[in-house]
Amino acid sequence: MQLLLIIALLFALAVAVFAVQNAEPITVNLIRWQLETSLVVVVVGSAAAGALVAGVFGFIRQVRASWRIRQLQGQVHRLEQRLKALEPPATDEAQRAADDPQSSPPVA
């Protein structure tokens, strides 16, 4: 995670340096619109829009993963309850041994 942050910061620095070094005015044409602006605005705006789109997709993926985790935790809980219902009742000594993994098995 920290490596990803460092790479993102280095990329942002490279975009900023590129934008500042290419600061001449340009004309941006989009369908019927025409806008006179600096190349810095176009480059930084494009990078910010890309970061925003990537962030939205990442957020959606994170929410889906959280929902799936919650669903699987519920399934595990239900299966544990079902398993507990299917297990035969344990004796007191066997229950103590199961609760305490450090204890040795009873000697016959």
Tens digits of per-residue pLDDT, 77-107? Answer: 999 999 999 988 766 666 666 676 666 555 5
- 2: pLDDT confidence band, cut at 50, 70 and 90? confident
Check residue 72 and give its pLDDT: 97
Check residue 15 and give its pLDDT: 84
Check residue 36 and give its pLDDT: 92
SS3 of residue 94 by DSSP: helix
With a cut of 60, say whether residue 19 has pLDDT above it.
yes
- Cα–Cα distance, 9 to 84 (Å, whole number): 51
The one-letter amino acid at 25 = P
Residue 107 CB neighbours (<10 A): 4
- The residue that leads in pLDDT, 15 or 91, is 15
Tens digits of per-residue pLDDT, 56-81? Answer: 999 999 999 999 999 999 999 999 99
Model confidence pTM above 0.75: no
CA angle, residues 14, 11, 55, in degrees to nearest 5: 140
Check residue 5 and give its pLDDT: 85
- Cα–Cα distance, 8 to 5 (Å, whole number): 5
DSSP 38-80: EHHHHHHHHHHHHHHHHHHHHHHHHHHHHHHHHHHHHHHHHHH
